Amino acid sequence: MHTALIVMGCSVFILLGIGHAALMLFTSKFEPRSAALLAQLKANSTGMTKTGNMWNGIKGFHLSHSLGMVIYGGFYIVLALENTHYLKSSTALNVGLLVVPAIYIVLAHRFWFSVPRDCFIVALCLLAASIIVA
């Protein structure tokens, strides 16, 4: 049961990460509604560099954010499947298992919207249950 709960909870992160990347790469969902603003983002760079532009930086941020969610979910799924005994006995890994979703809940509540927040709440509940039954 412990492993199944981790796989389910971490699968939420993988699905959200892949979905986020797909929306960024294949739709205009993350583009500003204002065409003028999008043009400005594409025409300007940051103060840190003269190469690239703000829009590419935004896309890169979204894609790296997606990658981080996939890596987090994948790491814990592999660990739960291949070395569940070590995962059960590691305080540091169990803290990480709970802290990351908690941070994502706060971020989603403060900066994003309710769908990812609610998904992260479900993931956190599943992961907390995995620790309780371990």
- The answer to whether the CB of 9 falls within 8 A of the CB of 130 is yes
Q: Does 67 score more than 80 pLDDT? A: yes
- Residue of higher predicted confidence among 75 and 45: 75
Give the per-residue pLDDT at 134.
80
Q: For position 53, what pLDDT does the model report?
A: 86
C-alpha angle with apex 50: 25 to 29, nearest 5 degrees?
20
Note the pLDDT of residue 44: 86
Tokens in use for 6? 């981790």
pLDDT on residue 106: 94
What pLDDT, on a 0 to 100 scale, did the predictor assign at position 91?
92
Q: What is the DSSP string of 78-92?
A: HHHHH-HHHHHH-HH
- pLDDT tens digits along 8-51: 999 999 999 999 999 999 999 999 999 999 999 888 887 777 77
Dihedral sign for Cα atoms in the order 28, 100, 72, 129: negative
